[in-house]
Amino acid sequence: MESQIEQLKSLVDNANKILITSHISPDPDAVASVLLAGTTLQANFPNKKIKMVLEEKPSKNISFLDNYSVLEFKSLPQAVQELHPDLLIMVDAMNFERCSRSDAGSIRTIVNQLSSKIVAIDHHEELDVEEGALYFNKKNPATAQELYELLFFDLKLNKPTGYAQTTLLGIISDTARHKYDNHRHRETFKIVSELIDAGASIEQLENKTERYSAGQLRAISAVTANIKDSGKGYTYSFIDKDSPDHSMSQESKVSALKAAAEIFTSQFARNFENNNWGFIIYPELASGPNVYSVSFRSVTGGIDVAALAHKLGGGGHKQAAGAKIQANSVQEALQKVQDAIQQSKN
Ligand SMILES: [Mn+2]
User: Residue 125's domain is classified under what CATH number?
Assistant: 3.90.1640.10
Query: What is the Å distance from ligand 1's center to 30 Cα?
Result: 6
Query: Which of 291, 289, 346 has the alpha carbon at shortest distance from 322?
Result: 291
User: In this predicted structure, what is the pLDDT of residue 56?
Assistant: 95
**Type of residue numbered 213:** S
pTM for the complete prediction? 0.88
Question: Quick check: 38 pLDDT over 80?
Answer: yes
- 186 membership: H or E segment, kind and range: helix 185-197
Same domain as 221, residue 104: no
Query: What is the Å distance from ligand 1's center to 196 Cα?
Result: 20
Of 208, 235, 265, the position where a domain reaches its end is 208
Mean pLDDT of 249-275: 91
Of 158, 190, 208, the position where a domain reaches its end is 208
Alpha helices in 130-248 (DSSP H): 143-148, 163-174, 185-197, 202-209, 214-225
User: In this predicted structure, what is the pLDDT of residue 265?
Assistant: 95
Same domain as 273, residue 173: no
Same domain as 220, residue 196: no
Mean pLDDT of 258-281: 95
Same domain as 201, residue 106: yes
Query: What is the Å distance from ligand 1's center to 316 Cα?
Result: 9
Looking only at the bridges linking them, the beta strands covering 72-73 and 87-91 are unpaired
Query: What is the Å distance from ligand 1's center to 28 Cα?
Result: 8
User: In this predicted structure, what is the pLDDT of residue 302?
Assistant: 92
- The number of folded domains in the chain is 2
Of 156, 189, 208, the position where a domain reaches its end is 208
Query: What is the Å distance from ligand 1's center to 277 Cα?
Result: 20
Same domain as 340, residue 247: yes
Mean pLDDT of 162-191: 97
User: In this predicted structure, what is the pLDDT of residue 10?
Assistant: 98
Same domain as 319, residue 192: no
Question: Quick check: 332 pLDDT over 80?
Answer: yes
User: In this predicted structure, what is the pLDDT of residue 106?
Assistant: 96
Q: What pLDDT, in 10s, does the model give residues 57-67? A: 998 889 999 99
Same domain as 201, residue 238: no
Sequence-distant (≥ 6) Cβ neighbours of residue 265 within 8 angstroms: 280, 295, 296, 297, 320
Query: What is the Å distance from ligand 1's center to 229 Cα?
Result: 29
User: In this predicted structure, what is the pLDDT of residue 272?
Assistant: 97
User: In this predicted structure, what is the pLDDT of residue 281?
Assistant: 97
Which of the four pLDDT bands, split at 50, 70 and 90, describes residue 81?
A: very high
Query: What is the Å distance from ligand 1's center to 103 Cα?
Result: 22
Same domain as 236, residue 187: no
Query: What is the Å distance from ligand 1's center to 58 Cα?
Result: 13
Which of the four pLDDT bands, split at 50, 70 and 90, describes residue 92?
A: very high
What range defines the domain where residue 299 resides? 215-345
User: In this predicted structure, what is the pLDDT of residue 289?
Assistant: 87
d(CA 234, CA 272): 9
Same domain as 249, residue 191: no
d(CA 171, CA 140): 9
User: In this predicted structure, what is the pLDDT of residue 100?
Assistant: 96
Query: Is the Cβ–Cβ distance between 93 and 120 less than 8 Å?
Result: yes
Same domain as 219, residue 200: no
User: In this predicted structure, what is the pLDDT of residue 250?
Assistant: 84
Sequence-distant (≥ 6) Cβ neighbours of residue 258 within 8 angstroms: 59
Same domain as 100, residue 35: yes
Same domain as 279, residue 195: no
Query: What is the Å distance from ligand 1's center to 321 Cα?
Result: 11
d(CA 226, CA 228): 6
Q: Rounded to 5 degrees, what angle do the CA atoms 313, 268, 245 make?
A: 80
Query: What is the Å distance from ligand 1's center to 141 Cα?
Result: 7
Question: Quick check: 150 pLDDT over 90?
Answer: yes
Query: What is the Å distance from ligand 1's center to 29 Cα?
Result: 5
